[in-house]
Amino acid sequence: MRILGIDPGTVITGIGIIEISGGKISLLHYDAVKLNSADSIHNRLKKIYDICELKIKKFKPEELAVESTFYGKNIQSTLKLGQAKGVAIITALNNNMNVSEYTPREIKKSVTGSGSASKRMVMNIIKSIFSIKEDPEFYDSSDALAVALCHFYSIGSNYNKIKTGKNSKLNRRQKWSQYVKNNPRKILYSK
Question: Active-site positions?
Answer: 7, 67, 140
Long-range contacts of 25-31 (CB under 8 A, 24+ apart): 25/129, 25/149, 25/152, 27/130, 27/131, 27/132, 27/145, 28/2, 28/59, 29/55, 29/59, 30/132, 30/136, 30/141, 30/142, 30/144, 30/145, 31/55, 31/141
Instruction: Report the SS3 class of residue 60.
Output: coil
Please, are residues 25 and 87 in contact by the beta-carbon 8 Å criterion? Answer: no
Name the maximum alpha-carbon separation found in the chain: 49
Q: Is 145 exposed, middle or buried, given 0-12, 13-18 or 19+ CB atoms closer than 10 A?
A: buried
The CB density around residue 189, as the number of other CB atoms within 10 Å, is: 12
Looking at 4-118, list the stretches that DSSP marks H as alpha helix, in order from N- to C-terminal side: 41-59, 75-94, 104-112
